[in-house]
Amino acid sequence: MKTITPDWSLKKKLQANELTIGSWLTIPHQSVVEIMATAGFEWLTLDLEHAAIDISQAMNMMALIQGKGMKALARVSKNEEVIIKRMLDAGADGIIVPTVRNAAEAKQAVDFVKYPPTGKRGVGLNRAQNYGIGFQEYQDWLRDECVMIVQIEHIDSVHNIEEILSVEGVDGIMVGPYDLSASMGMPGNYEHPDVVEALKKVEETTLRMKKPLGFHVIHSDHVKTLEKINVGYSLLAMSIDFFFLGDKARDEMELLKKAIK
């Protein structure tokens, strides 16, 4: 298994369009983080949009993730100033912002991540700034290493994909397949020709602009992730903690039931 050193740079991997694979966390428990860390993921994303994870739990989970040499990303609940700065102050290595529909919303997300004069983020001291004694170092880190990913999960985002990718400070995009198909009136119907065409537009535009192309692959089957790699995706979230747990349990029980008939 590849050894991940604590000082590796996700930002530089994205800038170089190198493949990087992580996963998604929804269960706020130390054991889940530690188990997922054994798989070799380079980063784990805490889901604060849909999961029952509060900020205190998130900060503890980030410390565990980072202690294992991985990067800790936070998918925030919305493109909103307070939740973004609180997650960054708690020590997140990067932010994933849901449902960014146009360039103005992408610029807003960047502003909430960056301090003035680049952005509009309020200044506070917490874990990220080493509780007040590492503020200068944090400013340097924020400029050079903090990652800001926007999610393409609405048909409006597809129509505006080139403008979104052109916003300075956006380090990459990640397609959210469920919400994208839902915004087109077909929740979960990824095979519908209109959804396929929308995804194709995102892929072609992002690859042409040589920007990091990301996707959240819901299935725990590695073949689905490999398919995205072969298309050209380089920023991939592979499944979710509860799917890894549930799929394995269901598959093995089904095999056992067949074997004892």
The residues spanned by each domain of the chain are 10-259
Comparing 1-5, 66-70, 79-83, 115-119, which segment has the lowest mean pLDDT?
A: 1-5
Instruction: Give me the mean pLDDT over the 76-87 stretch.
Output: 98
At 191 the pLDDT is 86
Cβ neighbours around 95 below 10 Å, total:
26
SS3 of the chain: helix, strand, coil, percent, to 5: 50, 15, 35
pLDDT at 3 over 60: no
- The verdict on whether 222 is a catalytic residue reads no
CATH of span 10-259: 3.20.20.60
Q: What is the pLDDT of residue 5?
A: 52
188-209: average pLDDT = 95
Is the whole model's pTM more than 0.85, yes or no? yes
What does the pLDDT average to over 31-37? 97
Q: What percent of the chain has pLDDT over 90?
A: 94
Model confidence at 176: pLDDT above 60: yes
Catalytic residue among 50, 216, 219, 222: 50
How does the average pLDDT of the chain come out, rounded? 95
Q: Which phi and psi (to 5°) does residue 225 adopt? A: -70, -40
